Chains A and B, each alone.
Chain A
Amino acid sequence: MTKTGFVVANLFRKKTRTILTVLSVIMAFLLFGLLQSLNSVFNSGADFVGATRLMTQARVSFTQALPLSMVPKLEAVPGVARVAYSQWFGGVWQENTQIFTFAVDPQRYHDAYAEWVMPEEQWQAFEQTRTSMVAGKMLADKYGWKIGQKIPLSSNIYPQKGGSKSWAFDLVGIYDGKDDNWRKQTNAVFINHDYFDEANLFGKGRTNFYILKLAPGTDAAQVSKTVDAMFENSPDETKTQTEKDFNLSFVKQIGDIGLIVRWILFAVFFTLLLVVGNTMAQSVRERVPELAVLKTLGFTDGSVLGFVLAEAVALCLVGGVVGLVLATLLGAMVEQATGGQFRLQVDGVIWAIGIGAILVMSFAVGLLPALRARSLKIVDALAGR
């Protein structure tokens, strides 16, 4: 037998209690791993887009469309190399499948996004066909769409002039991403803005966002200020931000994910602290005479403190590591199941924070019982006082 063996044997004194406690630790760290990675997804999911483009929307909300008459003014801003625009269409495929659909000017969009890879003849077809549509490769693969196919979509936002919500588009191209990151984003379709603009019942000559492609070496912050200043006190005040910030603000409309995650984790760990702390305290209370015998045999106060702390660390470490491993596996499974779109990655940083949390929790739950064990007086403990 070793001292480690002794600690393990003590842990399994009450098997059911230990297993239930470890399960609660596993659940807590599984949640911790998944929620932290979810937080990372929301905070850094658009890291790869870089800072070569700015997004301009209406200052109040992107749902408020801006006039296309802004295009020449935006093009005149120093540092802006190309202006593209994009209109949210709100497409629905078949019964109720939401499709990210944007109405864009094909040529401008092509110029602004070199990251979307598609044969040049397909770009031309996109521009030259009034009812054209191009689809992301992931989406086309998912639904088995082929070039030349008529794709019926309906829009709950924009009916056609006749009042019908049904639209039909000709699939003229399938675009892919230039690298792995971009390939995982090929889940949207683009339709020709000219056709949309002519055929929709509401508003004409408007768009939700402008995309400003910057010339190399341009100060993005300066361009952003210039654009917003240009439309200040006009009926169409703007808000211009980097593409990454734009994506993040889009996500954060459902709430401050980081704050939500922190509050959930706080509740989980606070409960866990009570559960494991109670287990440890009870475990020490039950074996006061045994701890006194250890001291009688010659184990020092420090050794006895060490035994109890080691039990707390073992309990939290086993549960915590298993929980993090499960979170890592589940995250990988989610990523695989969503074709890499939802990258729920429990990375090294989350593991490091998790191990830190395990150690802090071990001491938080183990220290008081350990100090109690340390301060036991042998004669009192043996006499049951």
Chain B
Amino acid sequence: MSEAIVSLRNVDKRYTRGKQSVEVLQGLTLDIPKGEFVALMGPSGSGKTTLLNLIGGLDQPTSGQISVGGSRIDQLSSGKLAHWRAHNVGFVFQFYNLMPVLTAEANVELPLLLTRLPASQRKKNVAVALQVVGLSDRARHKPRELSGGQEQRVAIARALVSDPQLLVCDEPTGDLDRKTADEILGLLQVLNREHGKTIVMVTHDPKAAEFARRTLHLEKGELLEQVAA
């Protein structure tokens, strides 16, 4: 088994909403090897998105250790965590979350504004990313001029453009029809198999999970079983 790119040890996550404290994850321990494509499944409120947020460095655990790509991200400050995200993780959301005022290529270029790459190099990288997702001909279109599937492809290109090792996807096909969903999942599969990206994907859809190599089930904040695809 190859080395773990994601490693969680005894991770607890508790939220306080008003006077109530909600235990979302309890003592969670998990290793995801490099190059893995993992689907996270479970009922609503089971902690899937919370786990994804912790792996992607969007949130901090209440206790426990999280290492991604050899870095302890549970101890990073907000600013360092932002810097770490910019260089190590790509995000894909259910509702695409593109900037409506920007064209597809400008949306894809956005993460590169955090690098020192010159404009010409950024342009090349954007073109490659759009080519990978098959949207070179839609580069100048704004999100409202694209279909849902195309928007999600742009979001994937944005996640890829800074060449992170890890992609975290929160229900990437939740807003798409079956055919388009399968195309997007196929694209993720290609990124995993041919480009070596490690992918962690939250989904409710068992058919989507079939595209992953491994499926993890969460129930009430605990990891129940690990199913190999």
A contact residues vs B (CB 8 Å cutoff): 1-3, 5-6, 9-10, 12-13, 289-290, 293-302, 378-379, 382
B contact residues vs A (CB 8 Å cutoff): 50, 53, 56, 58-59, 78-79, 82-87, 91, 93, 97, 99-102, 105-106, 109-111, 113-114, 119, 158
A297 to B91, CA, bound (A): 8
**Min CB distance, A290 to chain B, in Å?**
6
**Min CB distance, B65 to chain A, in Å?**
20
**9 tightest CB-CB pairs across the interface, nearest first?**
A298-B86, A9-B101, A1-B106, A300-B82, A293-B97, A298-B85, A378-B58, A297-B111, A379-B59
Contact check, A2 vs B113: say whether CB atoms are below 8 A apart.
yes
* B82 contact from A10, A12, A295, Cβ within 8 A: A295
What are the residues of chain B within 8 A of A379 when measuring CB–CB? 50, 53, 58-59
**Can you offer 13 A-B residue contacts whose CB atoms are under 8 A?**
A6-B110, A9-B102, A296-B91, A297-B91, A297-B110, A298-B82, A298-B87, A299-B82, A299-B114, A300-B78, A300-B79, A300-B83, A378-B58
A289 to B56, CA, bound (A): 17
Residue of B nearest to A13 (CB): B101
Residue of A nearest to B99 (CB): A290
* B114 contact from A1, A297, A382, Cβ within 8 A: A297
Given contacts A1-B110, A378-B53, A378-B59, 19 further A-B contacts (CB under 8 A): A1-B102, A6-B113, A9-B102, A10-B101, A12-B101, A289-B97, A290-B97, A295-B82, A296-B56, A296-B85, A297-B91, A297-B111, A298-B84, A299-B86, A299-B114, A301-B78, A378-B58, A379-B53, A382-B93
**Min CB distance, A96 to chain B, in Å?**
59
A295 to B83, CA, bound (A): 10
What are the residues of chain A within 8 A of B78 when measuring CB–CB? 300-301
Interface of A (DSSP majority class) = helix
A6 to B106, CA, bound (A): 9
Residue of B nearest to A1 (CB): B106
Contact check, A301 vs B79: say whether CB atoms are below 8 A apart.
yes
A5 to B110, CA, bound (A): 11
Residue of B nearest to A8 (CB): B101
A115 to B20, CA, bound (A): 87
A6 to B87, CA, bound (A): 20
What are the residues of chain B within 8 A of A1 when measuring CB–CB? 102, 105-106, 109-110, 113
A1 to B125, CA, bound (A): 13
Contact check, B86 vs A297: say whether CB atoms are below 8 A apart.
yes
